[in-house]
Amino acid sequence: MIKYYTTFFLFWFTLSILAQEVKIDNLGKNLTFTGTEVIENDDDYDSTGQLVLSGYVSSYYAYYNDSVGTGNYQKLPTTAPYSDKFGLNIVQLGGVYTSDNFRGIFTFQIGDIPQSAWSSQYNMIQEANAGYKIIDKLWFDIGFFRTHIGLESIQPRENIASSIASTTYFEPYFLSGAKLTYQFNKKIALQANVFNSFNTFVETNKNKAVGLSAVINPNDKLSITINTITCDESPEDFPRPQQRLYNNLYMVYRSDKIDIGAEYNFGLQQNSQLTDTTKTAYMHSALFALKYKFNKKYAVYGREEFFTDPDEILTGPIQNSHHELVGMDIIGTTLGVEVKPIENSYVRLEGRTLHTKTNEDIFLVNHKNTNHREEVIFSVGVWF
């Protein structure tokens, strides 16, 4: 035992002497084991670069008459996915870096929206991408993106209503890939993009999703966006190709008194009809939202939504109470009021009614199958 103590003492005595010599010979140097550095990081930074940090919190209370049971998500869950519960829609922190020739963005998130509607593998990442300017007005970006498809965002603060329309629910929320964007001027921008898949960060097969986008701003109040994306999401061993083409058109008009948003979608997919799997299936959807602002603090809003996907291109298998595949056809109406105590906040109270076709009794009210649902959402949000 004495031998072990003696060896231990000599070991630390030798280290202390070496440490003193190193400290003398290497004043000002960091000798922490930091890993291999084949290429030394330059401490100089682009003087044109600017980093802006931001945060957002959205909380809610919601009630649905759909009997899904305590602790279960409501059907079509995104914002306010739980009934009769105080919840946290989202807490997010992010940063945007911009310079003359490089840019990047990251946003981390937690809350009920990420849990109910986001990627299971990268649940806390809302977006994270970086890009550089190839030539003047031409940018290349790569990484994880929030969707560019559709009028509504998963962030309630960016939408007229707090709830998400059915057409938004079945659109891509997030994509991973690369974008090539050319900004002709303040009024016109074009983009070509390629992604791993349709509404996923992780590749599902050997196929890629490719698309084109155009943004036209005729004036400061009006913006028109056109998106198209094509992909094949079928398993690699599927006997026939199921090439999908999804077209999205939306318009935003903003003025001192009125905000208007309108969207229309048309999609098709090869070899996908429920009654004949060798024929092409079709779907289409639309929404119209309007907000009237009495002043900077008080407003009322409404939204009409329409979604039909009879062959389940986007919805996946939908069964009625008789276990029949019925696709999905939804009509919805939303009405609400909004108060903004400060500019970067909102307090909203809204109600919505959803109806499906008679044979599409996908909701359960008072433990009985039905084709309609009512809901009420109270939400509060603030950002900085």
pLDDT at 24: 39
Q: What is the arithmetic mean of pLDDT over 292-313? A: 95
Query: What type of residue is 303?
Result: R
Q: Strands 368-370, 298-309: parallel, antiparallel or unpaired by DSSP?
A: unpaired
Q: How many Å apart are CA 302 and CA 112, to the nearest integer?
A: 24
Helices (H), the chain: 2-25, 112-117, 166-169
Q: Strands 188-195, 281-293: parallel, antiparallel or unpaired by DSSP?
A: unpaired
Q: Which residues pair with 54 in a beta bridge?
A: 94
Name the residue among 318, 173, 336 with its Cα closest to residue 259: 336
CB contact burial 322-333 (16+ within 10 A = b; e otherwise) = eeeebbbbbbbe
Q: Tell me which CATH code domain 49-383 carries.
A: 2.40.160.10
Q: Kindly indicate the confidence band of residue 64, based on its pLDDT and cuts at 50, 70 and 90.
A: very high
Measured in residues, the chain has a length of 384
The sign of the CA dihedral 367, 371, 377, 382 is: positive
Strands (E), the chain: 50-64, 85-98, 102-110, 125-135, 138-146, 174-183, 188-195, 209-216, 222-232, 243-254, 258-269, 281-293, 298-309, 328-339, 345-356, 363-365, 368-370, 372-383
Q: How many Å apart are CA 174 and CA 249, to the nearest integer?
A: 18
pLDDT at 67: 83
- Return the number of other C-beta atoms located less than 10 Å from residue 309's C-beta: 24
Three-state DSSP string of 36-68: CCCCCCCCCCCCCCEEEEEEEEEEEEEEECECC
Helices (H), 145-303: 166-169
How far, in whole angstroms, is CA 299 from its chain's centroid?
A: 26
Q: Where along the chain do its domains lie? A: 49-383
Q: How many Å apart are CA 243 and CA 271, to the nearest integer?
A: 8
pLDDT above 80 (res 307): yes
Q: pLDDT tens digits, residue range 214-231?
A: 999 999 999 999 999 999
Query: What type of residue is 305?
Result: E
CB hemisphere CA count around 1 (13 angstroms) = 0
- Return the number of other C-beta atoms located less than 10 Å from residue 271's C-beta: 17
End-to-end Cα spacing for the chain: 63
pLDDT above 70 (res 10): no
74, 113 in Cβ contact below 8 A?
no
Q: What is the arithmetic mean of pLDDT over 179-189? A: 94
Q: Kindly indicate the confidence band of residue 191, based on its pLDDT and cuts at 50, 70 and 90.
A: very high
pLDDT at 209: 92
pLDDT at 18: 44
Of 36-45, 52-61, 113-122, least confident by mean pLDDT is 36-45
pLDDT at 364: 86
